[in-house]
């Protein structure tokens, strides 16, 4: 996996903001001009799970899950500080600060600007983002800061395992705090569909490819299927913004209001994790990815669960979609900041 760290960035990673921005524009445009197509797609669901969105999300997540190396868990004890930062930020701080910011902004600061019921759904969407730590895009962020690829893999592997057991209970707890009825059956189904099944498929694929003990086969396989992951991401963005096109055009101020606490959360969590790594004398190649993991979100899961729980046109789904809109530019700005401050960790 060391070769990953030094490999040149692909076309997608290099122009990530451009591709996502183009798909956002395409989604909104198509949603406005051919709304019937999106209505038809929206109707293709089973047990509150949209089948088309599910397929695209599986296509997007699966290649990343193949990278999850359970064998790497034996290396957990070699750099415990970085892992400690990742786990504490992701599971003991981030979900709760996101919920607190949602309540602060939508029940207090923005109380007179939005409908109370809509406000609850926006908070719910924010909570779903906060409880879903990054799994896929973190490999891109880690690569952009030239982080330790193997250790990033360890951090992601541990996070995925914890997510299987912790996502639903923490989500239910926080949604309950905000007085939203939690349909446990749908929530657990979403975790199974978007975490457990892709993770299991990735594990089986990895075992089949790695039977000879040669990681080159895994790297070659993931390189071949990576374009499908990119296509899945871009297609998902087009669909999500297509579903929400009319709302985005009719209520641009709502998009801005949702973006404010999400941006505050992102920069705040990064500052906390990055400063912790600096003060704890964690090497930059470990500290920077740890901060990136804590800041970034598994928005694929958050979007899917929001759609399953509240519907395609809900405020919760809109909030998670705004999360997609906010995340890319914010994360790229943090990557630039981390690279400029790399020397801080050499002292």
- pTM metric for this prediction: 0.76
CA 278, 284, 287, 290 torsion-angle sign? positive
The full set of domain ranges for the chain reads 2-341
Residue showing tokens 């969407």: 125
* Conformation bin of residue 179: beta by default, left when phi > 0, alpha when psi is -120 to 50: left
Nearest Cα neighbor of 96 from 319, 265, 263, 260 is 265
pLDDT of residue 248: 82
Is the CATH number of domain 2-341 1.20.1530.20? yes
- Kindly state the percentage of the chain with pLDDT values over 70: 85
- Taking a C-beta distance cutoff of 8 angstroms, is the pair 301, 187 a contact? no
Q: Consecutive sets of 10 residues in the chain, 347 residues long: mean pLDDT of each?
A: 42 69 90 91 75 82 75 70 90 94 94 89 93 74 78 76 83 80 66 77 85 73 80 83 84 90 96 95 90 84 79 85 83 90 84
* Conformation bin of residue 47: beta by default, left when phi > 0, alpha when psi is -120 to 50: left
CA 252, 332, 9, 148 torsion-angle sign? negative
In Å, the largest CA–CA distance within the chain is 63
């Amino acid at each position: 996996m060391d070769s990953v760290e030094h490999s040149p960035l692909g076309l997608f990673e290099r122009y990530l903001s451009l591709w996502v921005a183009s798909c956002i524009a395409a989604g909104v445009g198509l949603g406005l001009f051919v709304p019937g197509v999106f209505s038809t797609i929206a109707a293709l669901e089973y047990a509150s799970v949209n089948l088309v969105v599910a397929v695209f999300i599986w296509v997007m997540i699966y290649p990343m899950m193949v990278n999850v190396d359970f064998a790497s868990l034996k290396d957990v004890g070699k750099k415990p500080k970085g892992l400690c930062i990742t786990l504490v930020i992701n599971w003991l701080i981030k979900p709760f600060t996101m919920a607190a910011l949602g309540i602060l902004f939508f029940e207090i600061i923005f109380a007179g600007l939005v409908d109370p019921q809509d406000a609850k759904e926006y908070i719910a969407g924010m909570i779903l983002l906060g409880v879903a730590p990054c799994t896929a895009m973190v490999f891109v962020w880690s690569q952009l800061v030239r982080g330790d690829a193997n250790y990033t893999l360890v951090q992601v592997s541990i996070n995925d395992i914890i997510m299987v057991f912790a996502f639903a209970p923490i989500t239910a707890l926080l949604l309950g705090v905000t007085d939203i009825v939690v349909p446990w059956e749908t929530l657990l189904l979403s975790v199974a569909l978007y975490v457990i099944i892709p993770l299991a498929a990735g594990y089986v694929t990895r075992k089949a490819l790695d039977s000879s003990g040669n990681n080159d086969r895994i790297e070659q396989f993931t390189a071949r299927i990576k374009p499908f992951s990119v296509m899945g991401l871009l297609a998902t963005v087009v669909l999500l913004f297509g579903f929400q096109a009319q709302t985005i055009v009719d209520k641009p101020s709502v998009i801005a209001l949702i973006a404010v606490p999400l941006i505050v959360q992102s920069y705040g969590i990064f500052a906390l994790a990055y400063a912790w790594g600096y003060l704890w004398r964690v090497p930059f190649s470990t500290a920077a990815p740890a901060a990136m993991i804590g800041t970034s979100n598994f928005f694929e899961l958050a979007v899917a669960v929001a759609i399953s729980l509240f519907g395609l046109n809900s405020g919760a789904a809109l909030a998670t979609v705004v999360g997609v809109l906010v995340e890319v530019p914010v994360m790229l700005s943090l990557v630039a900041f981390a690279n400029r401050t790399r020397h801080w960790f050499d002292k």
